[in-house]
């Protein structure tokens, strides 16, 4: 039993009688070690039922070995005996797939199969050249054949005698049988490209034979391949029905002559980068089936004589970048011809059916030769003469008379033409890039091309105006026309227009029923815009600095753009008063329009508006709009605001410092940020809470005009969960405590007029849902803070940053009071039997995050395990310059920041789950740190940068004290 092993499949076959067939191979034949003996039978489908048919199929599919004739290979195949007397008809045999293949002791000869595997990775297997220069033309016959594996097979898995059911009972439960007929394989492989066909050939002999079928190898590509004449001739014998061949390189002439002689069905021939003698063109007539000839970057003949191409059935001819003195083409069936970038001085055409001619960049062709060539082709439809600078208007006039059906003309970079008296009525595409002779007078000639669809006038430096009434015009380009000032287009079919970098353009008038997008960016001089575009949806006029307020009438209802949805007027700095009334406008951008002082939008479907940089805006009205959110950015001069938005949920007025009158009708509003609106009054706040009852987040930071009456209006906001009254002059918070029962976040930063008794309702159960309280930079005394922390155990986040009256944080006694007996150890008092009993009765604190950053007078922090702080995760005491002692025992604390606590001397930690400790710029010594971290068994990050008492030699001691440490940040070492 033979075995074929691959990464995912293993195939079995019955052993055949081995025979020795000599296979002479050259040393540079890359498949010398990858040959499957002709006597091998893998049990897969063949092309016949008898031995003779099988041998024929093997010869057709595999061809002969290098150095061996095809007939010898056929004879060798025909003499192959059948193993065990079995029939050669293997169409009924199945490939076997083992699900537990990876568990079996199969092995492959990687060294022997290396060449085959390498071949499967080629981008082009049609005569592929390896990077080291080895040719693999043999792969066309072998198709990635591999040598059969003869070792590593466990005979107990699959026994010989495949016909005996008892012999294969051990694998019957794991194998999946597949019937793959030749017809099915042929159908599947027809969808594969050549690289994948070559990879498929490595699976088994059946697949190799199927993938080598000539139906898949009609096109042979030898571009940039190092292949000898003998090898190429052999390939032509293997695939005599090939219809396309590509050849390039120094041996191009010899190879192509062999191709012409051997491949009688050749239809497409591609040659490149070589020298082709004139005898090739004489022999070309023998290739009767040829339809397309492509020659690129080659020397034709000896470069001085005339080359004649005479072929009765040639339809497409391409001579690109070729070197030849004169060329004559006599092809009665020729339809397309390209001579682009070739340097011939004379061309004679006798091609009555030619309809496409490309002579672009043929710099040596004189005007007379171009005229003679084009006028000799009366059926010409497309003509490319770009970069033929000698072309004149007279030539164009004669071409127009001789080629009545001409529809495509590219005369770009033809500086001598002006189109004077030229009439091309059937023209659909006209390209005139960089034609210095094209002026506004040329538009009269273009106007006669009533079939014109595409017009390109880029870099026509003398063009000043374009006025056209062309019913079929769809696309127009005007780029870098430095004198162009006036555009007037009346064309119902216009769908694309590109006008860019025309600094003198000041007037545009467009009438079109098809135009959907208009982009006129950076037209600094544009002042007048008139549009009658029924389908226009997107307009971009960015950086058109000269546009005036009259542009608003163009894009409002009745202005000629009834379908407009998106309008961009960014950096149009001449706009002062903007007023749009539009039922279709969805998006409006006025970013950078610094001169706008008044904005009035009546756009019920407006969903997006951008006002960044409109810092001179004084009055704004959005009534009505369809906005869901609005951010007015920084509008320091805005004092009157009106908004009617039935769907708005978020409004930001941050930075509207002089806003004194605001009318908001937003019934769905949930978030209002009025930070720094210093003129916002109680009356305005009351009106807002009445019209927007669903507000959940209200930020009134730095709104000093808000007083008690404004706070009383908060009773209309039953869903209020976040309230920010920071930097206000409030004294009494009683309305908040009474009416905001759902409040979760209360921020009172720098409310310096709050007294020590202002927060007493919190101690008595007010705001039961409150989770976060920010009292940073306040004036509350030490006792008020202690009372707060002791009583409000439901708080999860407390911020006391910058509280100058806070001296200690000691939770060692009940209700937070500090033991005042001199010389008495606080810890001993806190852990006495009586106090422990009292503390054990206290409910667990829900506090998770405590921030005491920059408290200048705090000296000691004591949080024992009896303080019921099992939820505490983050503790930040940084920038507390007088803090000397920290004693913390919290089970779940994971993050502790003591950076810049320059007076820190004592550090005691019993925090088994602490992962990050920051001691940057602390004056603590290494012994204290070592003792502190020794009980932090999960510590991973330690920051001791700029600690003067911790030297670089201490890093090892610190790591030894805490084995879980992964990162130590130190300014003295790279640990």
Q: Based on the number of CB atoms within 10 Å of its own CB, is 544 exposed (0-12), middle (13-18) or buried (19 or more)? A: buried
Distance CA 225, CA 246 (A): 10
Q: Which two tokens stand for residue 397?
A: 């006039």
Quick one: how far is CA 560 from the chain centroid?
37
Encode 492-512: b = buried (16+ Cβ within 10 Å), e = exposed.
Answer: eebbebebbbbeebbebebbb
pLDDT at site 694:
96
CATH class of 181-215: mainly alpha
pLDDT at site 813:
56
Residue with tokens 């920038």: 879
What pLDDT band is residue 791 in, cutting at 50, 70 and 90?
A: confident
pLDDT at site 972:
59
Across 855-880, average pLDDT? 92
Structure confidence by residue, pLDDT tens digits, 453-465: 999 999 999 999 9
Mean pLDDT of the chain: 80
Helix (H) or strand (E) holding 827: helix 826-830
CA distance to 205, 242, 774, 894, per residue, from 37 (Å)? 11, 28, 86, 71
Contact 432, 456 (CB under 8 A): yes
With a cut of 70, say whether residue 540 has pLDDT above it: yes
Q: Which of 931, 922, 930, 936 is nearest to 964 (CA)?
A: 936
pLDDT at site 789:
85
With a cut of 70, say whether residue 276 has pLDDT above it: yes
C-alpha atoms less than 13 angstroms from C-alpha of 282 in its C-beta half-sphere:
5
Helix (H) or strand (E) holding 683: helix 682-691
Quick one: how far is CA 218 from the chain centroid?
38
Contact 408, 383 (CB under 8 A): yes
What pLDDT band is residue 70 in, cutting at 50, 70 and 90?
A: very low
With a cut of 80, say whether residue 579 has pLDDT above it: yes
pLDDT at site 841:
55
Q: Based on the number of CB atoms within 10 Å of its own CB, is 619 exposed (0-12), middle (13-18) or buried (19 or more)? A: middle
Contact 773, 746 (CB under 8 A): yes
Spatial CB neighbours of 723, under 8 Å, sequence gap ≥ 6: 698, 700, 714, 736, 740, 743, 745, 746, 747
pLDDT at site 303:
65
Three-class SS of residue 397? Answer: helix
With a cut of 70, say whether residue 260 has pLDDT above it: yes
With a cut of 50, say whether residue 548 has pLDDT above it: yes
With a cut of 70, say whether residue 160 has pLDDT above it: no
Structure confidence by residue, pLDDT tens digits, 318-369: 999 999 999 999 999 999 999 999 989 999 999 999 999 999 999 999 999 9
Three-class SS of residue 676? Answer: coil
Q: Which two tokens stand for residue 283?
A: 């022999």
Structure confidence by residue, pLDDT tens digits, 73-108: 333 333 333 333 333 344 333 333 333 333 333 333
Distance CA 889, CA 908 (A): 8
pLDDT at site 756:
87
With a cut of 50, say whether residue 645 has pLDDT above it: yes
User: How many angstroms separate the first and last alpha carbons of the chain?
Assistant: 63
Q: Which of 2.160.20, 1.20.1540, 1.10.15, 3.80.10 would CATH assign to domain 854-974?
A: 3.80.10
Q: Given 3-state DSSP classes, what are the helix, strand and coil percentages for the chain, each rounded to the nearest 5? A: 20, 20, 55
Across 188-216, average pLDDT? 87
With a cut of 50, say whether residue 302 has pLDDT above it: yes
Contact 318, 300 (CB under 8 A): no
Distance CA 589, CA 657 (A): 23
What pLDDT band is residue 58 in, cutting at 50, 70 and 90?
A: very low
C-alpha atoms less than 13 angstroms from C-alpha of 845 in its C-beta half-sphere:
32
Write down the domain spans for the chain: 181-215, 216-343, 854-974
Three-class SS of residue 225? Answer: coil
Quick one: how far is CA 791 from the chain centroid?
54
Percent of the chain predicted with pLDDT > 90: 57
Distance CA 690, CA 666 (A): 10
Q: Which two tokens stand for residue 240?
A: 């005599």
Q: By mean pLDDT, which of 53-62, 170-179, 855-864 is the weakest?
A: 53-62
pLDDT at site 842:
60
Q: Which of 331, 318, 307, 300 is nearest to 384 (CA)?
A: 318
Distance CA 348, CA 341 (A): 17
Encode 899-928: b = buried (16+ Cβ within 10 Å), e = exposed.
Answer: bbbeebeebebbbeebbebbbbbbebebeb
Domains 181-215 and 854-974 equal at CATH topology level = no
Please give the full DSSP string across 44-78, using - where no structure is assigned.
---S-SSHHHHHHHHHHHH---TTS-HHHHHHHHH
Percent of the chain predicted with pLDDT > 70: 78
pLDDT at site 608:
94
What pLDDT band is residue 703 in, cutting at 50, 70 and 90?
A: very high
Across 561-573, average pLDDT? 95
Torsion 354-358-364-366 (CA) sign: positive
Contact 301, 278 (CB under 8 A): yes
Angle between helices 252-262 and 229-238 (to 10 degrees): 20
Please give the full DSSP string across 923-968, using - where no structure is assigned.
---HHHHHHHHTT-TT--EEE-TT-TT--GGGHHHHHHH-TT--EE
Across 139-167, average pLDDT? 37
Distance CA 713, CA 694 (A): 13
With a cut of 80, say whether residue 576 has pLDDT above it: yes
Across 644-648, average pLDDT? 95
Contact 751, 727 (CB under 8 A): yes
C-alpha atoms less than 13 angstroms from C-alpha of 530 in its C-beta half-sphere:
8
With a cut of 60, say whether residue 831 has pLDDT above it: no
DSSP structure class, residue 713: G
Contact 605, 646 (CB under 8 A): no
Q: By mean pLDDT, which of 81-90, 277-286, 846-855, 860-869 is the weakest?
A: 81-90
Distance CA 445, CA 420 (A): 7
Quick one: how far is CA 191 from the chain centroid?
29
With a cut of 50, say whether residue 168 has pLDDT above it: no
Alpha-helix residue ranges (DSSP H) falling in 393-527: 393-402, 443-446
Q: By mean pLDDT, which of 149-153, 579-583, 675-679, 723-727 is the weakest?
A: 149-153
Q: Which two tokens stand for residue 202?
A: 């490595």
Q: Return the top range by mean pLDDT from 9-13, 276-280, 341-345, 450-454.
A: 450-454
Q: Which two tokens stand for residue 927?
A: 């012994």
Please give the model's pTM, rounded to 2 decimal places.
Answer: 0.68
Torsion 809-814-815-820 (CA) sign: negative
pLDDT at site 827:
36
């Amino acid at each position: 039993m033979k075995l074929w092993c691959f990464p995912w499949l293993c195939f079995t076959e019955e052993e055949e009688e081995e025979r020795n067939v000599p296979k002479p191979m050259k040393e540079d034949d890359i498949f010398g070690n990858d040959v499957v003996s002709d006597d091998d039978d893998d049990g897969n489908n063949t092309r016949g039922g008898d031995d003779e048919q099988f041998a024929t199929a093997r010869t057709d599919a595999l061809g002969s070995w290098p150095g061996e004739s095809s007939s010898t290979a056929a004879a060798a195949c025909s003499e192959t005996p059948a193993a065990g007397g079995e029939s050669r008809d293997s169409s009924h045999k199945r490939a076997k797939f083992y699900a537990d293949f990876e568990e079996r002791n199969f092995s492959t000869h990687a060294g022997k199969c290396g060449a085959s595997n390498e071949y499967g990775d080629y981008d082009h297997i049609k005569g592929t050249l390896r990077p080291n220069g080895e040719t693999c033309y043999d792969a066309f016959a072998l198709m990635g054949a591999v040598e059969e594996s003869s070792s590593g097979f466990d005979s107990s898995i699959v026994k010989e005698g495949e016909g005996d059911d008892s012999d294969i009972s051990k694998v019957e439960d794991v194998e999946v049988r597949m019937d793959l007929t030749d017809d099915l394989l042929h159908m599947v492989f027809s969808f594969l490209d050549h690289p994948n066909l070559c990879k498929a050939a490595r699976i088994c002999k059946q697949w190799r034979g199927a993938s080598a079928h000539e139906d898949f190898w009609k096109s042979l590509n030898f571009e940039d391949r190092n292949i000898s004449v003998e090898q190429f001739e052999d390939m032509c014998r293997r695939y005599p029905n090939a219809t396309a061949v590509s050849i390039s390189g120094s041996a191009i002439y010899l190879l192509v002559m062999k191709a012409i002689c051997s491949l009688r069905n050749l239809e497409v021939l591609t040659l490149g980068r070589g020298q082709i003698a004139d005898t090739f063109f004489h022999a070309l007539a023998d290739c009767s089936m040829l339809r397309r000839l492509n020659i690129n970057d080659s020397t034709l003949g000896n470069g001085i004589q005339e080359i004649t191409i005479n072929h009765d059935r040639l339809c497409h001819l391409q001579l690109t970048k070729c070197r030849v003195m004169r060329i004559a083409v006599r092809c009665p069936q020729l339809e397309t011809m390209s001579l682009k970038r070739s340097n011939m001085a004379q061309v004679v055409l006798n091609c009555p059916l030619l309809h496409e001619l490309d002579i672009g960049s043929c710099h040596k062709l004189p005007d007379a030769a171009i005229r003679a060539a084009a006028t000799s082709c009366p059926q010409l439809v497309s003509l490319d003469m770009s970069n033929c600078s000698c072309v004149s208007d007279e030539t164009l006039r004669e071409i127009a008379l001789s080629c009545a059906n001409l529809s495509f003309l590219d005369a770009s970079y033809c500086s001598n033409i002006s189109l004077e008296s030229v009439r091309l009525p059937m023209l659909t595409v006209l390209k005139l890039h960089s034609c210095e002779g094209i002026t506004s007078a040329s538009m009269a000639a273009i106007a006669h091309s009533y079939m014109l669809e595409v017009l390109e006038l880029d870099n026509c430096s003398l063009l000043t105006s374009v006025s056209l009434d062309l019913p079929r015009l769809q696309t127009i380009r005007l780029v870098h026309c430095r004198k162009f000032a006036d555009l007037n287009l009346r064309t119902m079919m216009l769908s694309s227009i590109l006008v860019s970098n025309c600094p003198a353009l000041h007037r545009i008038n467009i009438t079109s029923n098809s135009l959907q997008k208009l982009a006129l960016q950076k037209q600094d001089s544009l002042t007048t815009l008139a549009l009658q575009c029924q389908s226009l949806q997107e307009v971009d006029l960015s950086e058109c600095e000269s546009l005036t307020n009259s542009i608003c009438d163009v894009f409002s209802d009745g202005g000629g753009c009834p379908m407009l949805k998106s309008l961009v007027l960014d950096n149009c700095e001449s706009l002062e008063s903007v007023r749009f009334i539009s039922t279709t406008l969805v998006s409006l951008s006025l970013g950078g329009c610094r001169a706008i002082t008044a904005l009035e939008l009546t756009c019920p479907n407006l969903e997006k508006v951008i006002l960044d940089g409109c810092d001179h805006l004084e009055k704004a009205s959005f009534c009505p709009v369809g906005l869901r959110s609005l951010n007015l950015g920084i509008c320091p001069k805005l004092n009157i605001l009106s908004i009617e938005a039935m769907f708005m949920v978020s409004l930001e007025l941050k930075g509207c410092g002089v806003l004194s009158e605001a009318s908001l009708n937003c019934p769905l509003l949930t978030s209002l940020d009025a930070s720094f609106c210093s003129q916002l009054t109680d009356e305005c706040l009351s009106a807002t809470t009445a019209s927007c009852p669903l507000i959940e987040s209200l930020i009134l930071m730095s709104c000093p005009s808000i007083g008690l009456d404004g706070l009383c209006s908060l009773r209309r906001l039953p869903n209020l969960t976040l309230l920010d009254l920071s930097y206000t002059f409030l004294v009494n918070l009683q309305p908040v405590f009474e009416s905001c029962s759902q409040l979760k976040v209360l921020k009172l930063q720098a409310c310096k007029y709050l007294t020590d008794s202002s927060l007493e309702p919190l101690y008595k159960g007010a705001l039961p849902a409150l989770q976060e309280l920010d009292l940073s930079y306040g004036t509350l005394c030490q006792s008020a803070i202690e009372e707060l922390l002791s009583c409000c155990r439901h708080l999860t986040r407390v911020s006391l940053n910058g509280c100058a009256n806070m001296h200690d944080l000691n939770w060692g006694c009940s209700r937070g009071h500090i033991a005042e007996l001199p010389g008495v150890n606080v810890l001993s008092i806190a852990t006495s039997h009586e106090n422990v009993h009292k503390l054990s009765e206290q409910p667990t604190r829900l506090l998770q995050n405590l921030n005491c950053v920059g408290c200048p007078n705090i000296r000691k922090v004591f949080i024992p395990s009896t303080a019921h702080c099992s939820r505490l995760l983050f503790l930040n005491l940084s920038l507390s310059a007088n803090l000397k002692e920290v004693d913390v025992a919290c089970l779940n604390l994971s993050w502790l920041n003591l950076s810049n606590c320059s007076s820190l001397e004592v550090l005691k930690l019993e925090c088994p789950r602490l992962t990050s400790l920051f001691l940057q710029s602390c004056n603590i010594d290494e012994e204290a740190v070592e003792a502190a971290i020794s009980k932090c068994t999960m510590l991973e990050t330690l920051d001791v940068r700029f600690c003067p008492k911790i030297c670089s030699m201490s890093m090892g001691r610190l790591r030894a004290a805490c084995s879980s440490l992964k990162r130590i940040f130190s300014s003295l070492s790279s640990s």
